[in-house]
A and B are shown apart, each in its own frame.
Chain A
Amino acid sequence: MRSLSRRRFLEIGAATSFLALLNERTTGAQSTPEPDSVVVARNGTPSELASGAVRSLGGMDSFVGAGDVVLIKPNASFSVPPGTGANTSPEIASTVARLALEAGASKVILTDHRINKPGPLTVQINGLREAAEGCGGEFLVLQQESDFETVDLNQARTLTKVEVAKAYLESDVLINLPVLKHHDATGSSVGLKGLMGLVYDRTVFHREGLDATIADLSLGIRPNLTIVDATKTLMTNGPRGPGEVIEMGKVVAGVDPVAVDVASMALAYSLGYQDFGIDDRNAYVKIAGELGVGDSDPSSVLARTFEVDVKEQIGPCPPSTRKGAIPAWTPYASLSVASVALGLAAMVYDRRRTRDAK
């Protein structure tokens, strides 16, 4: 009967090493957010989620200085009411605008190039003008050619020149504030796709190929911070809808525009929505990664993605190197000890049973 107990010991040992290996994979992720992290805020109202996500990245003060002109780019180009997932939530837009003003911004401008004309009517229906003006900001509807200026895109592969909003060129800080949603043509639309809202002639994007041109554009327009509204997400029939809207209840934020897109798409993809995958769909993310705009590798992005429960969050998160923190190998060690103990217990039990049988 001795051989049996040894085998069991080995079996338990093998299972434990497997578990420990798995555990090592999970503890490889960051345990607290750092400035280059992607933060996924959950468990709160849209306003709490937005401010919680920004707080986890070090607060708005680390992005906006005193006297800065801050340009916020929400999705505001569709004339559909709030809650349908086609535009950024007005509540989140006003929260971010308020945070920027509190951080000392001299001027906060929300802007987007309308798709549904006339522009003033569109931002009245979708509630974004009210969101901007309600907290001391302003809304600039981009629609005249004179609102734009041609810039060269160095390193671009397809789109070498593009007319970009003057408001962007004149601003000190750009906060991209897209909504995560389905898009029939590209697969999904998040931050990089949303930057098309700062461009005059979008038809050239459709003619030259959306994936290549969106990636090229990300070379020319670099947001300082990207905050993604994933509270109510349009999962089908985007970008205008109407389609299936899911209460995702999350806000994703980060400095790396590509990584934020990857992490946001993963939220929807993990629910089984194939169009949010990064393959032939959403190929612009991969191309932007190749152009060096940001990190497009899903595994490395997920390794530095950090989930924050805004209800538990008190103040800015402490840095990961603080003293007295439980070391990262703790779960590994405790599991190993537990497995050895379990193996010994099994051996003792076996011996006792064989002895009783005699």
Chain B
Amino acid sequence: MPSSTPFDAMSRRHFITTVGAGAAVSIMGASLARASAKEPVLRPPGAIDEDAFLSLCARCGRCIPVCPNSALRLQGPGNGLQNLMTPKLVPSKGYCIMPVNGCQNCIKACPAKVLQPISLEGLSSSQFSSRLKMGTASVDTRICIPYALKQPCLACKEICPVEGAITTKGGEGKGPGATVRKPVFNNDVCVGCGACENACPTTPKAVTVSSKGAKRTQWRA
């Protein structure tokens, strides 16, 4: 066997690089796989069925800048490879104003039609959730100011555009703390616009909106 030292030296370096790269890829893959086990993403209004959404969304990002309330962001690498670059509603940044004025900017901007038009005409705001339901708000009573500190707050109810989505309980008593009303979230009426999470004054947010209970539309050309 001829002494082909250059090849031998290369092969050793090659071996080490390959092992390193392989380790890096497998660590990244494992982390992505673990991340993909997280709960489904909170989507913009009118989003079609999640499986269809993931296969048809062009990841073009055209829905992001047209939102008048800067509520949409592109999903980063932290939530699974399949969700990468898809749009999500981030209530801490902004919230969907479709319940306020019927805005359809993101839907109109979508070239792949994975966001389908929704008409709220003729409905009172308490009936919106029959057609528009992006997710559901919930409260962590360990952090929520009226529950935990017995102090008045209700910043969430103040901002909520949907009648009956947030109601109150308590507050009929007399004396310190007994006059404080606490928010109650009504899952069936909530459309998941994210206004309440946006307004919640605590850190971390006591009120959060998740994609739980979202009603998805069907894709149409």
Q: Interface on A for B, CB 8 Å cutoff?
A: 79, 115-118, 121, 125, 184-187, 202-207, 209-211, 239-240, 242, 279-281
Contact between B68 and A210, CB atoms less than 8 A apart: no
Contact at A280–B68, with CB atoms within 8 Å? no
Given the interface pairs A211-B152, A281-B179, the reply to whether A117 lies near B202 with Cβ below 8 Å is no
Cβ of B160 within 8 Å of any chain A Cβ, yes or no, is: yes
Q: Please determine whether A118 and B151 come into contact, CB atoms closer than 8 angstroms.
A: no
Nearest A residue to B71, CB-CB: A117
Contact B201 A186 (CB under 8 A): no
User: Can you list 26 residue pairs at the A/B interface with Cβ under 8 Å?
Assistant: A79-B100, A79-B161, A115-B158, A116-B159, A117-B69, A117-B94, A117-B95, A117-B97, A118-B69, A118-B97, A121-B97, A121-B101, A184-B158, A185-B152, A185-B158, A186-B152, A187-B179, A202-B155, A202-B201, A203-B155, A206-B155, A209-B151, A209-B152, A211-B152, A280-B174, A281-B179
Q: A203–B201 contact, CB under 8 A? A: yes
| Total contacting residues, chain B, CB less than 8 A | 34
Q: 3 closest A-B pairs (Cβ-Cβ)? A: A203-B201, A185-B152, A206-B201
- Tell me if B201 and A207 are in contact (CB < 8 A): yes
Query: What is the predominant secondary structure among interface residues of chain A facing chain B?
Result: loop
**Pair B179/A280 contact, Cβ less than 8 Å:** yes
Partner of A115, one of B101, B159, B168, B174: B159
Whether A279 lies near B174 (C-beta < 8 A) is yes
**Which B152-205 residues have a C-beta within 8 angstroms of A?**
152-155, 157-161, 163, 168, 171, 174-176, 178-179, 181, 195, 198-202
Q: Judging by beta carbons under 8 Å apart, are A210 and B153 in contact?
A: yes
User: Is there contact, CB below 8 Å, between B178 and A280?
Assistant: yes
A121: which B residues are within 8 A, CB to CB?
A: 68, 97, 100-101
- In the complex, what residues of A have CB within 8 A of residue B97's CB? 116-118, 121
Decide if B145 is an interface residue (CB 8 Å cutoff).
yes
| Nearest CB in chain B: distance from A236 CB, A | 11
Given known A-B contacts A118-B69, A207-B202, A211-B152, A184 and B101 have beta carbons under 8 A apart? no
Complex Cα distance A352/B201, Å? 82
Question: What's the nearest-Cβ distance from chain A to residue B127, in Å?
Answer: 14
